[in-house]
Chain A
Amino acid sequence: MSRNPLVREVSPTSWFFRHPRYLRYMSREITSIFVGAYCVLLVVAVQRLAAGREAWEGFLLALQGPASIAFHLLALVAAVYHAATWFNATQKAMPLQIGEEFLPGNVISGAHYVAWAVLSGGVLFLAGVI
């Protein structure tokens, strides 16, 4: 029998519309843009701080504008979604075997949420918020 297999190409620009799970994956990838943009903002903040009091106060004033507040809200939502999906995935990356049994995955993910809460509390404490 002669072979003449039909090869089907996958569209590099629309493959993620094929199934909701791919859209969920892409939505998580997109949150990286906001996380990255916020890191850039922090670098700019350090640079403004190094530039002196006047530059720093100008930067703080700019942060209070509506565009800045909207960006911060979006970045917060994106960062929380990114972190939560990562914590949920940790149980796959680092399963813990104790004897013949494996620690339940939600214990591993839950430990990350606890560490997140403790560290966030520490940061807020150091910042004088709590």
Chain B
Amino acid sequence: MPPAQPGTVSAADAAPHGGAVASPGRPGGSKERTVQLEVLRYNPDTDTEASFQRYAVVCPEEGVVLDALNEVKASVDPTLNYRWSCHMAVCGSCGMMINGEPKLACHAFLRDYAGVIRVEPLAHFPIERDLVTAPDDFMEKLKRVKPYLIPKESKPIDAGEYKQTPAQLMKFRQYSMCINCMLCYAACPEYGLTPRFIGPAALTLAHRYNQDSRDGGRKQRQEVAATHEGVWECTFVGACSEVCPAHVDPASALQQMKIASSVDWIVEHLIPGGNGS
């Protein structure tokens, strides 16, 4: 990777900077504009610190930040590293900080940004290389909350499916929309300050299965969720819900889990014969 340069690296055929130019070749005569990016770069083989590098590329006005990064990689600097896959806010791969806000690069529209767009790797995660972060900690925590159905009672396949009413489905449906993009972790100051915190997405998925009428695994998940590194580390900043691109509400899930855990404690300690389950 070349060292970070103070100047702007542009595509050779870039249009005049700052202006919008008509693109007659595009359907509907859509316009293009020069996008200036300030990208945080880090090479683990040569760098001890990350530093910003500027690029200028021409992109369609209706494009997204991911398009601009792809244009940089295709026409200016092939050494730039970042993750992406679906380009439609489904896979959750292209999470990064865009002007300080955790966003999916494929869901950050260029029309919403004026001036230089600052692009950094997701906050609170170690930088693997350039905009690629190491998700190891999140993956480990995800496993710990057992985010899968643990049936109340197992039955042979011949006995048929586990049935569920629409109302039972709605109880957890929004929480099943999580795409594991980790934007909520980048927004959560508690996770940044206290990395042992299990964090919003993993706990929300625990809540999703706890709420499932077919599931009987809550007691196992509580061993991780109802602890000081679990829901009780959450101070209800609420940033996780504000940045979620899938409209999941982790803040709501965690507060509900706190209330349920408190009820468990009351049943276990204050009610004779209570077992807290």
Contacts and interface: CB of A to CB of B under 8 A. Distances in A.
A4 B124 CA distance: 16
B236 interface: yes
Contact of B100 (A7, A19, A93, A101): A19
Interface residues of B, number: 34
Contacts of B236: 89
Contacts, number: 77
B81 to A, nearest CB: 12
B18 to A, nearest CB: 27
B124 A10 contact: yes
A108 B124 CA distance: 34
B193 A12 contact: yes
A54 interface: no
A93 B252 contact: yes
A71 interface: no
Contacts of B166: 100
A94 B259 contact: yes
Nearest to B47: A6
Interface stretch (B139-147, B237-245, B266-274): B237-245
Which of the four size classes fits the interface of chain A? 20 to 34
Interface string A5-31: 111101010011011011001000000
B51 to A, nearest CB: 11
A92 B249 contact: yes
Nearest to A91: B252
A93 to B, nearest CB: 4
A5 B126 contact: yes
B50 interface: yes
Contacts of B241: 92
Contacts of B134: 3, 5
Contacts of B123: 8, 10
Contact of A15 (B192, B242, B251, B252): B192
Interface string B58-84: 000000000000000000000000000
Contact of B189 (A6, A10, A95, A102): A10
A10 B193 CA distance: 6
B193 A15 contact: yes
22 contacts: A2-B45, A4-B45, A5-B44, A5-B126, A5-B128, A5-B134, A12-B193, A15-B189, A15-B192, A18-B100, A19-B101, A19-B239, A22-B237, A22-B239, A25-B189, A25-B238, A89-B255, A92-B251, A93-B256, A99-B167, A100-B170, A102-B170
Interface of A: 2-8, 10, 12, 15-16, 18-19, 21-22, 25, 89, 92-95, 97, 99-102
Given A6-B127, A21-B239, 20 more contacts: A4-B44, A6-B50, A8-B50, A8-B124, A10-B124, A10-B193, A15-B189, A16-B189, A18-B100, A19-B239, A21-B237, A25-B239, A89-B255, A93-B252, A93-B259, A95-B252, A97-B167, A97-B170, A97-B171, A100-B167
